[in-house]
A and B are shown apart, each in its own frame.
Chain A
């Protein structure tokens, strides 16, 4: 996991913690630190701050003074101007990898597998560069819709995955290898029912 991916993952976990535990109890703290041990320190310190906030007497937001509000609105105008003049590489179209496309839509391989009704291993092979081109039309259309991207952006992520494949599992008698299979081979080799395989292999 890259540093940026880990930082994004940490943020997602903490957002969920803030949403679900506005006044964390001891069992909630243990539950979350057990579930996400790599972020245990962050969770504990956020829990402490959430408990501080919960102890405050007033539930309503405190009004910020006019000076702060004026500065904030000035920052907002700056943000509009910068967004209008953002160079191409900073624009929305710069995302390259499947991981980034999923993160942008708050998706995961597991969530996609459930919502699309397709074996997770098929998606994993695609995202990890173990599926050769071309991707089946039905899956291509479905993923472009889930990721809210066009054909070119999807292909860009696909090309990146193919150029940076994840190696397969190591075997006892040989080094781990990168094996790439066709879309049909991946689908037929999955644990889906025959009916689902036929569905994903057809174009209509």
Chain B
């Protein structure tokens, strides 16, 4: 993600940061350095600089959340993205808050963990709403099946994402990694997920059936 980036100037070097802003070079820098700079300069610092740095941070957060929160959620995930972004951008200027510290030290990990939390919350909310429904209401998978393996893989992946229980998806992925359901000698799916081997077998059976029902018709 940041392999081609470089370190920014000292956080308190306002002139250097202003030059970078004018040169539109902020995207060449590690984003954590940009966060450290705006936290050091503070909300009452040079107005053009503070607004420029915060806009850049805002854009980075938005692009990342757009990638992490897919369009298969309600309203294409836009509500989740905006709520998560709002929480994060507000904490940038609270350098001693938990999020403020985390964005300065581990920017992408913090954004990603908040995105994952948003996905978990939305998934739980969706489950409560469809509790009485017969069929899950997650977005329909892409119904086209390609004639080449890559397109088939992408299609299978989109079908897998219709499985709303994240634990079942994880169980299936580990099964595809050839991890045993249960084992006394090695790590197992049951141990990783903290459930019985019987439950794992049931989950994987359900996922395979769901995949087969959709993909099998098109093979």
Contacts and interface: CB of A to CB of B under 8 A. Distances in A.
Interface of A: 8, 11-12, 14-19, 25-27, 29-30, 33, 40-41, 44-53, 55-57, 60-64, 68-69, 71-73, 75-80, 82-84, 92, 95, 103-106
Interface string B147-188: 000100010010001000011011001100101000000011
Contact of B116 (A19, A27, A46): A46
Contact of B66 (A16, A30, A50, A63): A63
In the complex, which of the residues B51, B61, B112, B161 has the most CB atoms of chain A within 10 Å of its own CB atom?
B112
Classify the interface of chain B: helix, strand, loop or mixed: helix
The 6 closest A-B pairs by CB, nearest first: A48-B170, A83-B43, A48-B166, A83-B93, A64-B66, A18-B109
Nearest to B195: A44
Contact of B95 (A18, A53, A92, A103): A92
Classify the interface of chain A: helix, strand, loop or mixed: helix
B138 interface: no
Contacts of A68: 62, 66, 78, 81-82
Interface of B: 1, 42-44, 50-51, 54-55, 57-59, 61-68, 78, 81-82, 85-86, 89-90, 92-98, 101-102, 105-106, 108-110, 112-113, 116, 119-120, 150, 154, 157, 161, 166-167, 169-170, 173-174, 177, 179, 187-189, 191-194
A103 B98 CA distance: 7
Nearest to B102: A15
A48 B194 CA distance: 14
B167 A44 contact: yes
B51 A92 contact: no
B98 to A, nearest CB: 5
Contact of A77 (B54, B78, B110, B120): B54
